[in-house]
Amino acid sequence: MFKQNLQQLFLAVLLGVAATAHAGDTTPAAQLQRFEAAAGRPASAENGRIFFTSTHGSKWTCASCHGESPTKVSKHASTGKAIDPLAPAANPDAFTDAARVDKWFRRNCKDVLSRECTADEKSDVIAFLLALKP
């Protein structure tokens, strides 16, 4: 009995650690506010839509990997690896970890723009993605 209780306690602790390991430190709305503050202006979902679907000097767009409909699973343009939906309405984990948000904006903007995105561009893209419904 003691051994079974100890095993159950151990399993509960492991599950608790696993659950908090994926918990985010922020929200999509907080990320939008962060980039709007850095940009010094309110975001534009329409500008974000245009940015997301347009080329910017390279052959790739954001939609090349995240799909024309970022509410669905898509696949990376060159690796074919599955990519979870980017829109928060379709993916509750999207934009909930500030370090990941910064990391992926940095990487993806360099792929699409050959430079990092501006705060204006980031806030517009997030506003566009927040406006989408599954």
User: What is the span of the domain harbouring residue 109?
Assistant: 26-131
Between 63 and 10, residue with greater pLDDT: 63
Residue 83: inside a domain: yes
Q: 3-state DSSP: the chain helix, strand, coil percent, rounded to 5?
A: 55, 5, 40
Residue 7: inside a domain: no
pLDDT at 78: 84
Residue found by looking up tokens 């948000």 in the block:
101
Residue 2: inside a domain: no
- Reference 98, options 132, 72, 126, 69; nearest CA is 126
Residue 46: inside a domain: yes
pTM: 0.81
Residue 104: inside a domain: yes
Residue found by looking up tokens 């561009």 in the block:
121
Looking at the structure of the chain, the number of domains it has is 1
Residue 17: inside a domain: no
pLDDT digits (tens, 9 = 90+) for 37-65: 999 999 999 999 999 999 988 889 999 99
Q: Give me the CATH number covering residue 94.
A: 1.10.760.10
Residue 111: inside a domain: yes
d(CA 18, CA 33): 29
Residue 100: inside a domain: yes
pLDDT digits (tens, 9 = 90+) for 68-106: 899 999 988 889 899 999 999 999 999 999 999 999 999
pLDDT at 118: 98
